[in-house]
């Protein structure tokens, strides 16, 4: 099995397919490398596509509790590019993965050709932040009780995922069954270190305003916890565009794979042609 070794010696499992300009897919909390299969199949026809399981997610390794900060997850994406000798890639992230992609865009923008930030920013609003953090800690404690399928029972039925269940019961079952196999201890560490410990987006406002990468923000209109954060990023990233999927929740890429792929494909075409974010018509290539 292929693994990348991070700077702090954690083994991350990855898969890749296709040839061409690279795309690095970064998954959400309730997912792993396999959750990007609809995108791996589609985009590997034209791009080199890479997906990986984050630290704490099998078959990647489960480090100790102090190794789950947002900086660890950010640096893991960069370590993946380093290992594969990729100078820069399109970064496509969902939720937790979108936060990590944005952090790469802030910390190491030379490693990103573009940013796609889907379902980003849960817990963003100041009046919701403490509640979000308290919930993350409560979830971590629940995971550690050792009940079977506990991660799926706690995380799989959250409000932002109900639209998926109603719309596509078969697809939701596949998602739920995969989530039930997650390592409970790794999930608990991720809840405490990343979900409950990451700074809210507004603490990076100055950095976000300086982002000049082509940026696509995607949010479902049923994903209440991410709408305000998505609008905030659209407001502060001058080179960004916002797509809102109707009657769609948090699991955007699996709930609406055709719409997600088509939206992302159009964005990548424009980004690679140098047309995304142009303000002066004279600067656009013909």
* Model pLDDT for residues 223-253, shown as the tens digit of each residue: 999 999 999 999 999 999 999 999 999 999 9
Place of tokens 């889907």: 118
9 vs 158, more confident: 9
Angstrom distance (rounded) from CA 129 to CA 260: 28
**Residue (of 169, 178, 190) closest to 149 by Cα position:** 178
> What tens digit of pLDDT does each residue of 99-131 get?
999 999 999 999 999 999 999 998 888 888 999
Given a contact cutoff of 8 angstroms between Cβ atoms, the answer to whether 29 and 41 are in contact is no
Angstrom distance (rounded) from CA 242 to CA 215: 9
Asked if pLDDT for residue 278 goes beyond 80, the answer is no
Cis amide prior to 59 (ω within 30 degrees): yes
Q: Which of the listed CATH numbers 3.40.50.1820, 3.50.30.30, 1.10.510.10, 3.40.50.360 matches domain 3-125+199-275? A: 3.40.50.1820
What local confidence, expressed as pLDDT, does residue 157 receive? 83
What local confidence, expressed as pLDDT, does residue 59 receive? 97
Give me the chain's average pLDDT, please. Answer: 93
- The band of 43, judged by pLDDT with boundaries at 50, 70 and 90, is very high
What local confidence, expressed as pLDDT, does residue 281 receive? 39
Asked if pLDDT for residue 279 goes beyond 80, the answer is no
Asked if pLDDT for residue 285 goes beyond 60, the answer is no
Asked if pLDDT for residue 150 goes beyond 90, the answer is no
- The band of 156, judged by pLDDT with boundaries at 50, 70 and 90, is confident
- Residue-wise DSSP of the chain: --EEE-TT--EEEEEEE--SSEEEEE--TT--GGGGHHHHHHHTTTSEEEEEPPTTSTTS----TTS-SHHHHHHHHHHHHHHTT-S-EEEEEETHHHHHHHHHHHH-GGGEEEEEEES--TT-SHHHHHHHHHHHHHHHHHHTT--TTHHHHHHTTSGGGHHHHHH-HHHHHHHHHHHTTS-HHHHHHHIIIIITTSPPGGGGHHHHHT--S-EEEEEETT-HHHHHHHHHHHHH-TTEEEEEETT--S-HHHHSHHHHHHHHHHHHHHHHTT-TT--SGGGS--
What local confidence, expressed as pLDDT, does residue 76 receive? 98
Given a contact cutoff of 8 angstroms between Cβ atoms, the answer to whether 51 and 25 are in contact is yes
What local confidence, expressed as pLDDT, does residue 280 receive? 40
pTM of the model: 0.94
List of residues 6+ apart from 145 with CB closer than 8 A = none
- The band of 211, judged by pLDDT with boundaries at 50, 70 and 90, is very high
Asked if pLDDT for residue 284 goes beyond 60, the answer is no
- The band of 51, judged by pLDDT with boundaries at 50, 70 and 90, is very high
Asked if pLDDT for residue 36 goes beyond 50, the answer is yes
Angstrom distance (rounded) from CA 70 to CA 63: 14
What local confidence, expressed as pLDDT, does residue 244 receive? 98
List the Cα angle 208/8/135 in 5-degree steps. Answer: 55
Given a contact cutoff of 8 angstroms between Cβ atoms, the answer to whether 40 and 104 are in contact is no
Place of tokens 């290539």: 285
Q: What percent of the chain has pLDDT over 90?
A: 86
Asked if pLDDT for residue 286 goes beyond 60, the answer is no
């Amino acid at each position: 099995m292929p693994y990348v070794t991070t700077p702090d010696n954690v083994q991350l499992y990855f898969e890749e397919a296709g040839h061409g300009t690279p795309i690095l897919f970064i998954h959400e909390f309730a997912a792993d490398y396999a959750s990007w299969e609809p995108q791996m199949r589609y985009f590997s026809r034209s791009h080199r596509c890479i997906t990986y399981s984050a630290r704490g997610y099998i078959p990647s390794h489960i480090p100790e509790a102090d190794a789950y900060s947002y900086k660890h997850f950010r640096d893991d994406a960069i370590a993946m590019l380093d290992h594969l000798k990729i100078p820069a890639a399109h970064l496509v992230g969902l939720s937790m993965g979108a936060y990590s992609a944005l952090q790469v865009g802030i910390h190491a923008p030379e490693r990103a050709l573009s940013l796609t930030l889907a379902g980003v920013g849960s817990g963003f609003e100041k009046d919701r932040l403490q509640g979000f953090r308290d919930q993350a800690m409560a979830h971590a404690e629940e995971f550690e009780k050792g009940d079977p399928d506990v991660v799926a029972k706690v995380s799989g039925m959250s409000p932002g995922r109900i639209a998926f269940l109603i719309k596509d019961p078969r697809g939701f079952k596949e998602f739920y069954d995969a989530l039930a196999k997650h390592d409970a201890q790794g999930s608990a560490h991720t809840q405490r270190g990343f979900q409950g410990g990451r700074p809210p987006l507004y603490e990076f406002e100055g950095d976000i305003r300086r982002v000049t990468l082509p940026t696509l923000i995607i949010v479902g209109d049923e994903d209440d916890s991410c709408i305000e954060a998505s609008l905030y990023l659209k407001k502060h990233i001058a080179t960004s565009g916002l797509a809102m999927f109707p009657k769609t929740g948090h699991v955007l890429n699996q709930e609406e794979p055709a719409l997600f792929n088509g939206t992302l494909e159009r964005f990548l075409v424009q980004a690679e042609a140098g047309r995304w974010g142009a303000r002066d018509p004279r600067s656009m290539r013909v």
